[in-house]
Amino acid sequence: MKIAVRYYSKGGNTKKLADAIADALGTEAETVDRPLDERTDIVFLGSAVYANGVDESVKRFIRKNAGYIGTLYNFSTAAIAPSTYKQVKKVAEENGVAMSEREYHCKGSFLFLNPGCPTDGDITRAVAFAKLAYKDAE
Ligand SMILES: Cc1cc2nc3c(=O)[nH]c(=O)nc-3n(C[C@H](O)[C@H](O)[C@H](O)COP(=O)(O)O)c2cc1C
């Protein structure tokens, strides 16, 4: 089964989750600037909330790689906002990309908010999510 992990992270919080997920599944996490080079069964896509939105590069990744994505699995961080699931799902739907309802979201540190987040526990839970996602696809 072909797996890929892509993320966009300004400050490193979402990257922490991406790296842990990739490591647990035996692959490398890459930024959304790296296109998929072949059909990929499971694509974990990490994003964060900036000014209530998802970075344009995340949306562009879905648009440009739609034909190669088997199932998209969302994970995200934010200081206060809920997960990026709905915003990502909208773009996935517009581009005919199947997206799992299984997702992972946790708080990320921002200025004085949520120091130390994502925590080690958050990372453990992100890895558990990824392993369940892998099982879904088996
Ligand atoms: C420019 C900017 C804007 C942000 N806007 C929001 C926001 O509107 N709502 C929110 O909950 N968090 C907001 N945050 C906090 C981030 O969502 C949070 O720090 C997240 O973990 C950042 O992930 P990253 O370190 O992978 O970039 C913002 C952070 C930055 C840097």
Whichever domain contains 17, its CATH number is 3.40.50.360
**Of the residues 9, 49, 58, which should be mutated to test ligand 1's pocket, given the most ligand atoms within 8 Å of the CB?**
49
Measured between alpha carbons, how far is 68 from 37 in angstroms, rounded to an integer?
8
Ligand 1 atom nearest residue 107's Cα: 21
Range of the domain at 112: 3-137
**53: Cβ below 6 Å to ligand 1?**
no
| Residue-level pLDDT, tens digit, the chain, 138 residues | 999 999 999 999 999 999 999 999 999 999 999 999 999 999 999 999 999 999 999 999 999 999 999 999 999 999 999 999 999 999 999 999 999 999 999 999 999 999 999 999 999 999 999 999 999 887
Structure tokens at 31: 């930024």
CA dihedral 65, 67, 70, 72 (to 10 degrees): 40
